[in-house]
Amino acid sequence: MRTLMDVQTLRERMTSGQRTVLLDVRWKLGDGAGDGHNRYRQDHIPGAVYVDLSSQLASAPTIAGGRHPLPEPEVFREAARDWGINNDDVVVAYDDSGGLSAARMWWLLRDGGFDTVYLLDGGLAAWRAGGFELDSGDELASLGNVELGSGHMPRLELADVLDFARTSLLLDARAAERYRGELEPVDPRAGHIPGAVSAPTTGNLAATGHFLPATELAVRFKDLGAEDRDVAVYCGSGINAAHQIAALAEAGIEAALYPGSWSQWCGHPELPIATGEQP
């Protein structure tokens, strides 16, 4: 099952009239309300519909659930129909940050049982580099009829995290300084889940913002200990971890998402934390 689509393939689909639902998922940590939408309105791939990550790809934040809990399945299904998705469509999600936010859309659709969803490799930067046209303003989609469930992708629940970290491979996809506990810009405690291995998501990408080749990703994850072991991933709030899962999929490795991630873990003061470079 392929994860990525390159810009040339997308362009050929568009010019040949093959139906493709394009979703623009621009979001960055620290964005204010409307920031991503404003960047979308300035320029986006023609036909792309804007998706607001915080309100449409997540439920409201809670101490118990973290900063970006997964949306309720029925709420996500209705949003997917509003974006114009039908059951037999091909969906391509992109952003302007190497897929770090668009991967949340990829994971949610796959979790809902929708297989023909891809990340645009290189995102908006690759589209621009190809010299292709851009539009501005808002795009409106016709209502779709997609049927989505939930639970088609593996996930790790809070109660099982420590046991998993002791027996399998739990990857921390945040920046290394956050893993070590030297910096924590958004959550109340610094450090990492005991037993977790540091694996910053940015290590999945080349300098151009494209994913590394599958062979290089396979070597990376083998060096991190992913060979012949169960793997799960967390990050700050479950967003960038989906990107890590997409990279693992490119390398031929299935991995579970811990949706609550560090924002949920550190909100429970009774749970242990570790600091420093070692798991």
Sign of CA dihedral 57, 60, 61, 65: negative
Q: Where does CATH 3.40.250.10 sit in the chain? A: 4-129, 158-265
**Residue 179 to residue 160: CA distance in whole angstroms:** 20
Please name the residue that has the structure tokens 């851009």: 134
For the chain, state the CA radius of gyration.
Answer: 18
Count of positions (residues) in the chain:
279
The predicted pLDDT at position 79 comes to: 97
* Alpha-carbon dihedral 114, 233, 32, 82, rounded to 10 degrees: 10
Confirm whether 266 is a catalytic residue: no
**CATH number 3.40.50.10300 is the correct assignment for the domain at 4-129:** no
pLDDT tens series, the chain, 279 aa: 689 999 999 999 999 999 999 999 999 877 777 888 999 999 999 999 999 999 999 999 998 889 999 999 999 999 999 999 999 999 999 999 999 999 999 999 999 999 999 999 999 999 999 999 999 999 999 999 999 999 999 999 999 999 999 999 999 999 999 999 999 999 999 999 999 999 999 999 999 999 999 999 999 999 999 988 999 999 999 999 999 999 999 999 999 999 999 999 999 999 999 999 999
Angle (nearest 5°) at CA 175 between 169 and 180: 75
**Residue 152 to residue 91: CA distance in whole angstroms:** 17
The predicted pLDDT at position 93 comes to: 98
Catalytic site residue from 235, 241, 246, 256: 235
The CATH T-level fold of domain 158-265 is Oxidized Rhodanese; domain 1 (3.40.250)
The predicted pLDDT at position 38 comes to: 93
The predicted pLDDT at position 1 comes to: 67
